[in-house]
Amino acid sequence: MLLNPRILCTLAGFTFLTACGALTAQALAQQTVTDLALIDNGLTALSPLLTTSGVPAATLATVQADLVTADTFAKAAETATTTAAAQQPVQQAETYLNTALGLVSGLPLPPKVAGIVTALNVLMPVIETAVGIVTNAVGAGGETPDEARAVLAGIK
């Protein structure tokens, strides 16, 4: 079965978007830095919001520590000067983020917290793809990356 280029672009994310001419390499790099800053914004906001979300104290301490570590790696990736240099901190940020979010999955979270969690889950695989990490992850919650960006940018 042959797929037309538009479908390939849709299926493969940013990697093919650059090849299809939708984004230049420079625009892709800038979008990735912007996305990492949004991840930082979401991680920074999430920790204090979880304090009042009914998460058990023992779980909360572990989750908050993982969020701080994920944020540290996201900031390191944000300042990386090459895609290759960003891969390891992005992968580490993803690992800690997944650990933290795994601990609160299934808990009844307030809508604002759940919205941030969904946005983080949608945007992280986009960033991984942009820095060349092969991932099978698919964004959660039915949000588009642009919708996730709007959620993370609008956190107050």
Q: 10: pLDDT confidence band, cut at 50, 70 and 90? A: very low
Q: 140: pLDDT confidence band, cut at 50, 70 and 90? A: low
Four-point Cα dihedral 43, 89, 101, 99, nearest 10: -140
Q: Where are the domains of the chain?
A: 24-153
Q: 28: pLDDT confidence band, cut at 50, 70 and 90? A: confident
**This prediction's pTM:** 0.79
Q: Give the pLDDT of residue 2.
A: 34
Q: 29: pLDDT confidence band, cut at 50, 70 and 90? A: confident
Tens-digit pLDDT profile for residues 35-78: 999 999 999 999 899 988 888 888 999 999 999 999 999 999 98
Q: Say if residue 88's pLDDT is above 70.
A: yes
By residue count, the chain amounts to: 156
Distance CA 127, CA 19 (A): 17
Choose among 92, 89, 68: nearest CA to 80: 89
Query: What is the arithmetic mean of pLDDT over 81-109?
Result: 91
Q: Give the pLDDT of residue 90.
A: 94
Tens-digit pLDDT profile for residues 98-139: 999 999 988 899 999 999 999 999 999 999 988 988 776 655
Sequence-ordered list of residues with C-beta below 8 angstroms from that of 23, at least 6 positions apart, any chain: 14, 17, 31
Q: 142: pLDDT confidence band, cut at 50, 70 and 90? A: confident
Radius of gyration (C-alpha) of the chain in whole angstroms: 16
3-state SS class at 70: helix
Architecture of domain 24-153: Up-down Bundle (1.20)
